[in-house]
């Protein structure tokens, strides 16, 4: 059993509510509470591939990896435990989806760290469920109510579309660069002046903007896009389709499901896991990169200038180049010798 997050520890203070209920856990799942929760039945839906892999080993088909809920999966449940994410729009999107498949009278528990903005759950759920705060501990808030008015989820209302580098970008809430091209990706794209040939891996692809721009400008490039987020994978697929591009879009925890070697690996990698700073995924990405590059293959990333990636690149590749920088971001490249 992994260590529980503060939010899960708050849920543990109220286990008597769940023993005879059919429970589904959703939202920002960060641990394995679902696998040990005592209830009539327990299911979990997570947007994060690495969380799903861990939980599916313990719960089998009662753990689902998806950006949107499957009606048949949610329908047997009469209690929702929702873990509030750091992105408010993502919470609105997911709750709109989940509350479409639950019946009126279902119990809803919303829990999250205070710094995540969980208190806004009360106003967001107004007209759907009247939530009241029932506990406060471990710098978290727990809210409870009953579903009064199921929602009518329509995913078309949630897509955001914009143009960047003559490419149409499609993104769902919670996906990085949801509303506009971020300045880090823009800086990385500004360095792609030479032809990008061969097999290209866009890792932690988000809405797919990096791969889409490369594919648009280099029609002979072969694109592979990967991410741990189901919403990111849906967004990248939509972005490729909108630009008449082909590519392989796969769920992968860094290189967990990558089996090929590439001429290019590009990324604007995250350095947060939920609300917390975490370098482990990027460390893995850098140190394992030579294994997934062909000889002469290039590894190019953009990162906040303060992050300690130059030393990692030198350890992994022997050297690196600084291709571009601003006051906040730097673009690094390393080549497999």
Same domain, 170 and 119: no
Q: What is the mean pLDDT of the chain?
A: 95
Q: Is pLDDT of 1 > 70?
A: no
Last residue of a domain, one of 155, 190, 210: 155
pLDDT in tens, 127-177: 999 999 999 999 999 999 999 999 999 999 999 999 998 999 999 999 998
The rounded distance, in Å, linking the Cα atoms of 151 and 261 is 45
Residue 292 corresponds to which tokens in the numbers above? 């997934």
Residue 278 binned pLDDT confidence (cut-offs 50, 70, 90): low
Instruction: Specify the number of domains making up the chain.
Output: 2
Instruction: Please classify residue 261 by burial: count the beta carbons closer than 10 Å to its beta carbon, then call 0-12 exposed, 13-18 middle and 19+ buried.
Output: middle
pLDDT in tens, 238-249: 999 999 999 999
Same domain, 181 and 324: yes
The rounded distance, in Å, linking the Cα atoms of 45 and 63 is 6
Q: Which domain holds residue 265?
A: 159-336
Residue 315 domain flag:
yes
Same domain, 133 and 22: yes
Residue 260 domain flag:
yes
Same domain, 179 and 288: yes
Q: At 31, which CATH number?
A: 3.40.50.150
Per the confidence metrics, is the pTM higher than 0.85?
yes
Same domain, 116 and 148: yes
Last residue of a domain, one of 106, 135, 155: 155
Looking up tokens 């506990």, which residue turns up? 135
Residue 112 domain flag:
yes
Same domain, 72 and 131: yes
Indicate the helix (H) or strand (E) that contains 183: helix 183-190
Residue 329 domain flag:
yes
Same domain, 63 and 133: yes
Looking up tokens 């329908």, which residue turns up? 75
Same domain, 50 and 140: yes
Same domain, 13 and 117: yes
Residue 1 domain flag:
no
The rounded distance, in Å, linking the Cα atoms of 230 and 233 is 5
Same domain, 141 and 244: no
Same domain, 131 and 170: no
Same domain, 225 and 325: yes
């Amino acid at each position: 059993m992994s260590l529980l997050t503060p939010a899960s520890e708050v849920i543990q203070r109220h286990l008597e509510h769940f023993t005879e209920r059919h429970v589904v856990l959703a939202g920002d799942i960060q641990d394995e509470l679902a696998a040990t929760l005592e209830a009539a039945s327990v299911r979990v839906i997570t947007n994060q591939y690495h969380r799903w892999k861990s939980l599916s080993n313990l719960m089998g088909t009662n753990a689902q990896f998806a950006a949107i809920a499957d009606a048949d999966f949610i329908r047997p449940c009469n209690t929702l435990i929702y873990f509030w994410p750091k992105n408010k729009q993502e919470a609105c999107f997911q709750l709109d989806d989940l509350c479409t498949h639950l019946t009126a009278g279902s119990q809803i528990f919303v829990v999250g760290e205070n710094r995540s903005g969980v208190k806004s759950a009360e106003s967001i759920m107004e007209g759907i469920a009247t939530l009241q705060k029932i506990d406060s501990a471990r710098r978290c808030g727990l809210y409870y109510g009953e579903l009064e008015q199921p929602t009518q989820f329509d995913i078309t209302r949630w897509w955001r579309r914009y143009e960047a580098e003559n490419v149409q970008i499609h993104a769902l809430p919670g996906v990085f660069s949801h509303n506009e091209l971020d300045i880090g990706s823009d800086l990385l794209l500004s360095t792609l002046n030479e032809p990008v040939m061969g097999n290209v891996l866009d890792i932690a692809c988000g809405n797919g903007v990096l791969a889409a721009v490369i594919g648009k400008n280099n029609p002979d490039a072969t694109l592979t896009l990967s991410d741990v987020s189901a919403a990111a994978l849906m967004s990248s697929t939509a972005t490729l389709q909108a630009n008449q591009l082909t590519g392989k879009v796969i769920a992968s925890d860094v290189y967990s499901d990558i089996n090929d070697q590439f001429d290019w690996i590009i990324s604007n990698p995250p350095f947060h896991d939920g609300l917390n700073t975490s370098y482990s995924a990027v460390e893995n990405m850098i140190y394992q990169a030579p294994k997934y590059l062909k000889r002469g293959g290039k590894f190019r990333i953009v990162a906040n200038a303060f992050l300690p990636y130059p030393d990692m690149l030198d350890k992994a590749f022997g050297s690196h180049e600084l291709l571009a920088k601003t006051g906040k971001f730097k673009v690094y490249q390393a080549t497999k010798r």
